Structures are given as structure tokens and as C-alpha cells.
Structure 1
């Protein structure tokens, strides 16, 4: 975190212990103290509570068979997030229980996921040259 009022200091919330670059980051819009990151070519989502950033919470996702390519938090519920991956899967999870609640298989490697802020029952995914809108 960089405070523009004090240009001489900043706070690093997370450094990967295995020195992997961070590929994806998502801020929880309902619980604004939670930030999730996905390290490079990882199956793992790491969630940081910025109030207690020295103890990041690792969410081990054993459901993906290939690396995670994107993450999005639900705009209406602090407990739900979706991951998409190279294994063609979009998976919806409950954060508190570390539990998968829905899964969708696309026709190709899913590159991106975005949740609609206006209609939170919809999210969009991209794969190959396609965009699909999913109702969750």
C-alpha cells in the first residue's frame, strides 16, 4: 500500500514464498479488506486480509487440473468467488467453507472471468475467440 500523503513509505502485503510472480489479483467488492492473488501457473488462490496481512490465507483448490487463469469475487456476496482455468473449468466457491458450489466446462481454455455488477446472477467468461455469459 502506498500512501500519497507520505511518499517515503509503503507496505507490501504479500510476497510469494516460492518467488513466483503474481499473475492475477482480485479485490472483494463486498468485504473491502480482502484481496486475492493467484501466483504464476498456480492452482492456488491466496487471500489476504489487509488488516492482518502478515497471515495470508491460502485456499487450496484441488479441483482445477491446470493453472488458474482468472479470479473474480461476487459483487453482491462477500463469500463467493469464481476461478477459471486452463482446464476449461469455471468454478464457483464459497470462501468461508473453501467449498465448490458450481462448475461449468467450456469448449476451450478459459482466459478471463468478469462478474456483472448490475446483474450479479450473470458472469462472463472468455475462451478461444468466444465470450459466454453464464447464469449462476
Structure 2
């Protein structure tokens, strides 16, 4: 803990701890009052003026960034479009094959139903039923 006779100044403040503040809060200077929002709003900051060489530098850096990332994006776009250009025809082939499989399955089901053995088809194969027999 700090020495009781040492006043708290900006220099001695960095050596003090929270325990010092709890033990002798009167030794610590009061915090300045919090400024109001109106006072904060009224603060005038000096205008930012760029030197001409900074302006040129920022323009050149902006162009360099655009060229770097813009060209990278453009190259990725072109390569991606070229890479996936055949996908539509492959998709159409896949859809056509699926459609053909669905139609073939429907035809097979209809054919099985048409060939299904029912009592009527058995009679048709064996011939008409003779009521006399």
C-alpha cells in the first residue's frame, strides 16, 4: 500500500492499487465530471486535410486494390462459367434419362397389369365355360 504521506499525483498513481483506494479513498483526486451529450456534440474537430501526395497515394492504392481483387473476381467468374458451361446439357440428359426410366416403369406396370392372371383370363385361355358340364 502506498505511503500515507505521499500525495496521489499522475506520477504516483501508477504505483497505487485498488487496495490503496479502498483503504484511503480521500487521498485520490475526484474524477472530472462526465460531459453532457450537448457538450460532447459541440466539440469541434479540426478538418482533415490530405496532402496532395497522400491523395494520389490513396487513389493509386484504391486502383491497385480494385485491379487486384476485381481482376481476381473476374477471372474466377470466367473460369467458373467456363467450367460449368456443359452442366446444362448434362442436366438435360440426366432429366431425359430419369423421364425415360419413369415412363418405362409405368409401361412395365401397365404390362404386368394387362398380363395379370384373373379368373376371367383363365377362362379365356381354357375356353368358354360349358354350363352343361
Tell me if both proteins adopt one fold, taking TM over 0.5 as the criterion.
Answer: no
Bigger proportion of residues as helix? 2
Q: Per the shorter chain, which TM-score range?
A: under 0.3
Bigger proportion of residues as strand? 1
The answer to which structure, 1 or 2, has the higher relative contact order (CA under 8 A, 6+ apart) is: 1
Q: Pick the structure with greater CA Rg.
A: 2
Q: TM-score, normalised by structure 1?
A: 0.14
